[in-house]
């Protein structure tokens, strides 16, 4: 609800929604952090309350916006989502179409990435506020921007380091797992190139993430240490991580379906992304508890 007689933006100390981050495990090195403020669009354009709905529908489509705030008498009074209006709508104002801009649609700029994901599962759009103004708009489409990509790449790379340590310890003869001959040839080629440049690491370091997935899911001791309870669950959950890793690396869409989180939705949804990130965090936490954090293993090797 609105506070009596005034806008929520009139209070500098208004309690803007803060959502607690989910547990991400204790990570020994700093990882890139990403907040709602970094994801949000800050060049905010707004609509006047007396704009015809049909004009708004056309403007949103032409501008590529999912939503926009609506102002009346220089104050934010609500917002319009692209699904709220059509070019066939009659009328001269947005009275019958706008959603009141209540505290439920506000989000703090320092909200963590995982909390942002959780919030965007519930609602498709949120707003950041300053003194009496909307200062940012956050939608599901913003999950396809560079800050999200960097955040995910950092954690997937960190998971990759952990999986290598796990495999080298648990299955040193990893070449006997169902890795294809072509994959082994590619690994050996990259390893030989590194040797020629005098920068070679262990051969497993030249395996792609999909190969690490194959090895981990084929060795029970590996996927169990990751905290995965069944072979089928290990296959599906690690494959989702591999698919996300490839989309991150190749600049593909991270959220392909911004309109729905339904079970039968096509393309990766916000909820799918949240669940895959939760898998990454859970596996990292389990591997760190088992002593497979790269920093821990390196320290053991120097003792």
- Show me where the domains of the chain are located: 8-142, 146-302
Question: Residue 262: its pLDDT value, please?
Answer: 59
pLDDT tens-place values along the chain, 303 residues long: 233 233 444 333 333 343 334 444 444 568 999 999 999 999 889 999 999 999 999 999 999 888 999 999 888 989 999 999 999 988 888 988 999 999 999 999 999 999 999 999 999 999 998 777 899 999 999 999 999 999 999 999 999 999 999 999 999 999 999 999 999 999 999 999 999 999 999 999 999 999 999 999 999 999 999 999 999 999 999 999 999 999 999 999 999 998 866 555 678 999 999 999 999 999 999 999 999 987 644 444 443
**Is the Cβ–Cβ distance between 57 and 86 less than 8 Å?**
yes
Burial level of 238, CB count in 10 A (0-12/13-18/19+)?
buried
Question: Residue 117: its pLDDT value, please?
Answer: 97
Could you give the 3-state DSSP secondary structure of residue 169?
A: helix
**pTM of structure:** 0.84
177: Cβ contacts below 8 Å, ≥ 6 apart = 171, 214, 215, 218, 219
Q: In this structure, which long-range contacts are made by residues 58-63, counting pairs with CB atoms below 8 Å and at least 24 apart in sequence?
A: 58/87, 60/85
How far from chain centre, in Å, is Cα 86? 30
Alpha carbon distance, N-terminus to C-terminus of the chain: 61
Question: Residue 93: its pLDDT value, please?
Answer: 86
**Is the Cβ–Cβ distance between 141 and 135 less than 8 Å?**
no
Q: Provide the 10 A C-beta neighbour count for residue 50.
A: 11
The two tokens of residue 224 are 């169990």
Distances, alpha carbon 210 to alpha carbons 138, 187, 207, 242, in Å: 32, 12, 8, 6
Burial level of 250, CB count in 10 A (0-12/13-18/19+)?
exposed
Question: Residue 18: its pLDDT value, please?
Answer: 38
Question: Residue 4: its pLDDT value, please?
Answer: 29
**Is the Cβ–Cβ distance between 167 and 45 less than 8 Å?**
no
- 8-142 has which fold? CBS-domain (3.10.580)
């Amino acid at each position: 609800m609105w506070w009596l007689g005034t806008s929520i933006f009139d209070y500098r100390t208004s309690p803007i929604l803060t959502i607690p981050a989910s547990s991400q495990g204790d990570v020994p090195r700093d990882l890139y952090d990403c907040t709602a403020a970094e994801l949000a669009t800050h060049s905010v354009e707004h609509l006047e309350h007396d704009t015809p709905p049909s004009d708004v529908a056309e403007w949103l489509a032409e501008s590529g916006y999912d939503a926009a705030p609506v102002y009346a008498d220089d104050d934010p009074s609500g917002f319009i989502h692209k699904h709220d209006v059509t070019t066939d709508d009659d009328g001269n104002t947005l009275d019958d179409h706008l959603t009141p801009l209540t505290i439920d649609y506000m989000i703090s700029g320092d909200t963590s990435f995982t909390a942002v994901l959780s919030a965007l599962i519930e609602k498709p759009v949120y707003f950041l506020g300053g003194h009496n103004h909307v200062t940012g708009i956050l939608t599901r489409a913003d999950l396809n921007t560079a800050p999200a990509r960097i955040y995910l790449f950092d954690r997937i790379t960190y998971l990759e380091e952990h999986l290598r340590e796990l495999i080298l310890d648990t299955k040193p003869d990893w070449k006997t797992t169902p890795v294809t001959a072509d994959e082994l040839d590619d690994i050996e080629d990259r390893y030989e190139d590194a040797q020629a440049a005098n920068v070679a690491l262990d051969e497993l370091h030249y395996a792609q993430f999909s190969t690490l997935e194959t090895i981990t899911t084929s060795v029970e001791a590996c996927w169990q240490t990751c905290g995965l309870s069944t072979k089928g669950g290990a296959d599906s959950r690690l494959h989702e991580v591999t698919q996300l890793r490839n989309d991150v690396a190749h600049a593909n869409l991270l959220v392909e379906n911004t309109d729905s989180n339904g079970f039968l939705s096509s393309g990766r949804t916000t909820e799918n992304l949240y669940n895959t990130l939760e898998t990454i965090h859970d596996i990292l936490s389990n591997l760190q508890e088992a002593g497979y954090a790269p920093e821990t293993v390196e320290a053991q090797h120097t003792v």
